[in-house]
């Protein structure tokens, strides 16, 4: 193996991960955190680095994050708002946490800051929850975590389901238990205020490992529970009213968790992959028309890429950009326990689903980049900004593997 190939292999190994945070800004994919399986053990990835993929060129770079660094977390929830990445809750080496950290990614030198001196009641420690970013607020939903017995006694059974296999005692006295919730909690960064809106309507059952998406003033929740068909709930973020979608079982996706859901238009949600209730990693794609409340199964070119615990972000021209995850997570089931198979294939590739026709500009851009030797003289005539973009596309088409640049 030559030096360049060795360098690519090392970069790919460092990028392999599941259950990470990802978002796209200015056609750059940002990836933070997650875990990978090494020797059958989950290894939580460092919190003091963030990876950036230029989607024009396909090249990666890594940036260090200094300061009051967040602990290495699993199952945390990352949200991007106005140039700042917020990380809330998850599991650290000590256990479940409800701490929040932020980092301003617009700064030349990125620095973690622990969010302290907040007002209101901070949600209980948890992981596997989700977040909608709406009107400069972070709106969290659900997850799996711990509560004291006092907190449980003040919570309705409809909003917190105790995991009967997990609790803690002092002597013979039960003082803490774990379980799933369907709570909605709002954090406003500009006032450092936590609040808990009173919701109405048929709320989703408590859950974690679900998918969430935002369209306009509505937040959507799907999956994460053991139902035969995939469910769908919508929360109006102005009135805090839940609505449940009713579907015909004959034309609904299989129930699943650890899936992704991406809005691709004002009324379309794009569902990809996940861990099916049959224990298998899925590779199917579905679109939901939220106006007609109709599912449609889509044909696609990535049937060889089943995924679970991946990310799927909205890119340019309504592309769905998928990164990471596992391609073969399996659950082993018997009459006593449900166990995850120790062998997994963590992924580091980026691939895209095209949900609408490409613009004429993009078609021309890619045609020139794929045939740059033909247009060698004409490329020198281009304005520097456009030439830079074309050069990145030339790099993209010349290599299909990620290249480590820093």
Q: What is the pLDDT of residues 198-208, one digit of tens each?
A: 999 999 999 99
Contact (Cβ atoms closer than 8 angstroms) between residue 89 and residue 98: yes
Backbone angles phi and psi of 8, in degrees to 5: -65, -40
Residue where a domain stops, chosen among 359, 381, 397: 359
How is residue 104 written in tokens? 């301003």
Dig out the tokens for 344 from the structure. 């997994």
Closest C-alpha among 290, 247, 254, 289 to residue 273: 254
Tell whether 244 and 327 lie within a shared domain.
yes
| Same-domain status, 86 and 118 | yes
Same structural domain, 264 and 373: no
Residue 253 lies in a domain: yes
311 within domain boundaries: yes
**151 and 73, same structural domain?**
yes
**DSSP single-letter state for residue 318:** G
Closest CA to 86 of 135, 140, 165: 140
Does residue 57 sit in the same domain as residue 129? yes
The β-bridge relationship of strands 59-67 and 110-114 is parallel
Residues, the chain: 406
Q: Are residues 240 and 309 in the same domain?
A: yes
Alpha helices per DSSP H over 16-136: none
Residue 77 maps to a domain: yes
The confidence score (pLDDT) of residue 373 equals 92
Domain range enclosing 40: 14-359
As for how many domains the chain has, the answer is 2
Domain match, 365 and 323 both: no
Among 104, 137, 103, 140, which Cα is nearest to 125's? 140
* Residue 140 belongs to a domain: yes
Number of H helices, E strands in the chain: 5, 31
Q: Note whether residue 349 is domain-resident.
A: yes
Q: Which residues contact 310 (CB under 8 A, 6 or more apart)?
A: 18, 260, 272, 273, 322, 323, 324, 325, 326, 347
The string of DSSP letters for 234-259 reads EEETTTTEEEE----GGGSPBPEES-
The Cα-based distances of 374 to 203, 272, 365, 379 in angstroms read 59, 38, 13, 10
Q: Which residues of the chain have a pLDDT value below 70?
A: 1-11, 167-175, 330-343, 400-406
d(CA 37, CA 288): 33
In this structure, are 96 and 244 located in the same domain? Answer: yes
The CATH number covering residue 203 comes to 2.120.10.80
Which candidate, 102, 77, 104, places its Cα nearest to that of 90? 77
Instruction: Identify whether 289 is part of a domain.
Output: yes
Q: Is residue 9 a part of any domain in this protein?
A: no
Same domain assignment for residues 221 and 354: yes
Tokens of 160: 């917190």
pLDDT of 150: 82
Q: Is 394 helix (H, G, I), strand (E, B) or coil?
A: helix
Cα–Cα distances in angstroms (integers) from residue 202 to residues 257, 267, 349, 354, in the given order: 20, 21, 39, 34
pTM confidence score: 0.91
C-alpha dihedral, 155 to 256 to 99 to 94, nearest 10°: 100
Residues 250 and 155 in one domain: yes
The answer to whether position 2 is within a domain reads no
- 160: helix, strand or coil: strand
- Contact at 8 Å (CB) between 91 and 97? yes
Note whether 248 and 382 are same-domain residues. Answer: no
292 and 388 share one domain? no
């Amino acid at each position: 193996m030559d030096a360049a190939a060795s360098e690519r292999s090392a970069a790919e190994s460092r990028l392999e991960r599941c259950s990470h945070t990802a978002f796209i800004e200015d056609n750059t994919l940002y990836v933070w955190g997650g875990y990978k399986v090494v020797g059958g053990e989950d290894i939580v990835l460092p919190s003091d680095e963030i990876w950036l993929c230029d989607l024009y060129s396909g090249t990666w770079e890594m940036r260090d994050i200094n300061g009051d660094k967040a602990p290495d977390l699993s199952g945390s929830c990352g949200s991007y708002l106005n140039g700042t990445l917020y990380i809330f809750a998850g599991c650290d080496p000590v256990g479940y946490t409800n701490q929040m950290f932020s980092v301003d990614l617009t700064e030349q030198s990125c620095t973690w800051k622990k969010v302290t001196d907040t007002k209101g009641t901070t949600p209980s420690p948890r992981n596997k929850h989700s977040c909608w970013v709406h009107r400069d607020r972070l709106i969290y939903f659900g997850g799996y975590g711990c509560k004291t017995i006092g907190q449980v006694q003040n919570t309705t059974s409809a909003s917190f389901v105790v995991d009967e296999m997990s609790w803690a005692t002092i002597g013979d006295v039960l003082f803490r238990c774990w379980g799933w919730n369907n709570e909605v909690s709002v954090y406003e960064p500009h006032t450092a205020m936590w609040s808990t809106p009173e919701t109405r309507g048929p709320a989703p059952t408590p859950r974690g490992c679900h998918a969430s998406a935002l369209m306009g003033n509505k937040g959507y929740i799907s999956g994460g529970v053991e139902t035969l068909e995939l469910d769908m709930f919508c929360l109006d973020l102005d009135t805090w009213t839940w609505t449940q979608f009713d579907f015909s079982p004959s034309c609904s996706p299989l129930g699943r968790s650890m899936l992704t859901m991406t809005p691709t238009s004002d009324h379309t949600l794009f569902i990809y992959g996940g861990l099916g209730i049959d224990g298998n990693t899925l590779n199917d794609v579905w679109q939901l028309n939220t106006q007609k409340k109709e599912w449609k199964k889509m044909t696609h070119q990535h049937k060889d890429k089943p995924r679970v615990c991946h990310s799927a972000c909205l890119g340019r021209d309504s592309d769905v950009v998928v990164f990471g995850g596992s391609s073969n997570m399996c659950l082993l089931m018997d009459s006593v326990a449900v166990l995850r198979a120790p062998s997994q294939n963590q992924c580091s590739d980026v691939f895209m689903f095209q949900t609408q026709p490409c613009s004429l500009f993009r078609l021309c851009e890619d045609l020139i980049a794929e045939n740059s030797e033909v247009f060698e003289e004409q490329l020198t005539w281009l304005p520097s900004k456009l030439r830079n973009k074309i050069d990145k596309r030339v790099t993209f088409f010349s290599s299909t593997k990620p290249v480590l640049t820093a």
